[in-house]
Structure 1
């Protein structure tokens, strides 16, 4: 009677192994597209043509590289349970917006890279939970303004890059809480030196000159004058610029804050459920080449599972007939 018992144990072992493989399909060794290093806890998903972030990224991951992909949006829960991350790169993608709360669980993050994207604005409080952040890169986006207090919680920040955006001014007190800042890049923005709003930045640059590097490079729109040289007489106009607080209606903010992954529209393509099984969030695009390879791997694994299950069942029946 030991035959059926052994067969049952084999069924349990095979089922556990298959489920484990299905849930860990992020890393290449499990049929995924990313390179995972178990020793350093690094996950490299760069240059994979990804249109969505792979789910089931190991919770122990400390460094996650997603640069050089085709990400255009993020789920609000994209990085939930990854509270051990210290480094996150989303640089060189096509991100157009950041959902509220997307970084809230990354309480140990020290380095966040959002450079070379299509960001036009930042939600209020988007960085509030990142109190250990020391390096923030926002260069080469389309930022037109900053919400008030967006950097207030980043008291450990040492490097802030905002070159090549569309900023005309910064809110009053924008950098007042950045006491550890040593490097700030502001050049290649169309700073409007005819408006009073520029005076805070001009005065701050003069005060921090020699302490914070690169700030003197900020120039007025057209390159006619350095921002630090602007006087009150020159900046006499009362200009009004849109900011993210007024640009995003409260009703939309409330809706986004209460949304979940299911709120993200999905295309009714046949691959939808299969992609979800393979561990991909936001299956609203047809699979890219890496995802197709991943799909083939998952399909072969599934077929092998059913073959082994069938063999185990026949084995049990054989011994039951003999018993």
Structure 2
């Protein structure tokens, strides 16, 4: 009867190996692309030309470095379960948007690096769960506006970097809850100093000059000719309304559509590439690199080998059970 017992043990071992192979590997020691340190709980996946976050990152990871890759989007569950993460580096990727809730599980996060991406809109409440965060880096993006209350929950924030974006204004009270803030970068943004809502930013800078890096460098317009700090009420007299740049439709189009019958609306040719962009479709920006291809091939070969051996073990068990 030892034959079936040994076969059963072999089946368990092979099944475990097959499950592990099917789930993939993250760390180099297991055939993955990232460098992992079990003692410090650090996972370094920087500069690997990744277009997706590796699977099976340990949930007890303390520091996760993903900078210098080709990530253009993040699944909303990308960091779910990582409740011990204190550092997340996403700098130098191709991120254009952040899905709502993507950071909601990072309740211990202290540092978040998002610089050198292509971020335009920020979802409302995207940082609300990061109540422990002390450093938030958003410079070198394409931010055109900030949602109302986007920083209100970040009461422990000490450093906020917003320089070199496309910001024209900040919402009224944007920095009012940042009581522990010690450094704020605002320069290299085309601040709109003709609208009266710039007066909040002017007054805040004036009251917190010691916190704003280069307070005089936060200047008006694309020409950066005059500091926000120097704007007067007369110069900022307009009551401007800024549309939501992600969903706004010109009022002339709305009026035309509202006053027209369906039969009167001309059929406009839409270039295929523009239609795909409207639907959110994106072509892959590059083919997998050679190491990634080799890893994928070896993974599939390992999976097939595990399946073959598992099948053989099952047949072996059945054979001995029939004999018994």
Bin for the TM-score computed over the shorter chain = 0.7 to 0.9
SS where residue 293 of structure 1 aligns? helix
Aligned residue for 1:179?
179
Indicate if the aligned counterparts of 2:18 and 2:307 stay in contact, CA closer than 8 A: no
Aligned residue for 1:236?
237
> Residues 113-168 of structure 1, C-alpha deviation per residue, up to 9 Å, x if partnerless?
11111111111111001101111111111111111100000000011011111111
Shift of 1:105: 0.8
SS where residue 43 of structure 2 aligns? strand
Taking the TM superposition and a 5 Å limit, the aligned residue runs for 1:148-159 are 148-159=148-159
TM-score normalised over the length of structure 1: 0.82
Indicate if the aligned counterparts of 1:50 and 1:288 stay in contact, CA closer than 8 A: no
Shift of 1:224: 1.7
**Matched residues, number:** 293
Listed as ranges, the gaps of 5+ residues in structure 1 are 249-263, 268-282
> Residues 189-218 of structure 1, C-alpha deviation per residue, up to 9 Å, x if partnerless?
001122211110110011011244443421
Indicate if the aligned counterparts of 2:134 and 2:159 stay in contact, CA closer than 8 A: yes
Aligned residue for 1:51?
51
Taking the TM superposition and a 5 Å limit, the aligned residue runs for 1:15-30 are 15-30=15-30
Q: 1:317 to 1:47 in 2, by over 3 A?
A: same
Q: 1:199 to 1:290 in 2, by over 3 A?
A: farther
Whole-Å separation in 2 of the counterparts to 1:141 and 1:101: 20
Aligned residue for 2:36?
36
Q: Which segment drifts farther, 4-13 or 132-141?
A: 4-13
SS where residue 112 of structure 2 aligns? strand
Task: Say whether 1:127 aligns with 2:127.
Answer: yes
Aligned residue for 1:259?
none
Aligned residue for 2:74?
74
SS where residue 6 of structure 2 aligns? helix
Whole-Å separation in 1 of the counterparts to 2:239 and 2:8: 79
Q: Which segment drifts farther, 313-322 or 67-76?
A: 313-322
SS where residue 68 of structure 1 aligns? coil
Whole-Å separation in 2 of the counterparts to 1:224 and 1:284: 38
Shift of 1:318: 8.0
Whole-Å separation in 2 of the counterparts to 1:217 and 1:307: 67
SS where residue 204 of structure 1 aligns? helix
Aligned residue for 2:301?
300
Task: Say whether 1:203 aligns with 2:198.
Answer: no
Shift of 1:64: 1.1
Indicate if the aligned counterparts of 1:183 and 1:214 stay in contact, CA closer than 8 A: no
Whole-Å separation in 2 of the counterparts to 1:130 and 1:201: 24
Aligned residue for 2:93?
93
Q: 1:194 to 1:73 in 2, by over 3 A?
A: same
Whole-Å separation in 2 of the counterparts to 1:196 and 1:148: 17
Shift of 1:53: 1.5
Q: Which structure's CA Rg is the greater one?
A: 2
Q: 1:265 to 1:246 in 2, by over 3 A?
A: closer
Taking the TM superposition and a 5 Å limit, the aligned residue runs for 1:240-319 are 240-243=241-244, 287-306=288-307, 308-309=309-310, 312=313
Instruction: Give the superposed CA RMSD.
Output: 2.7
Q: 1:56 to 1:265 in 2, by over 3 A?
A: farther
Q: 1:287 to 1:114 in 2, by over 3 A?
A: same
Listed as ranges, the gaps of 5+ residues in structure 2 are 250-279
Shift of 1:294: 2.2
Indicate if the aligned counterparts of 1:124 and 1:244 stay in contact, CA closer than 8 A: no
Indicate if the aligned counterparts of 1:109 and 1:130 stay in contact, CA closer than 8 A: yes
Whole-Å separation in 2 of the counterparts to 1:71 and 1:62: 21
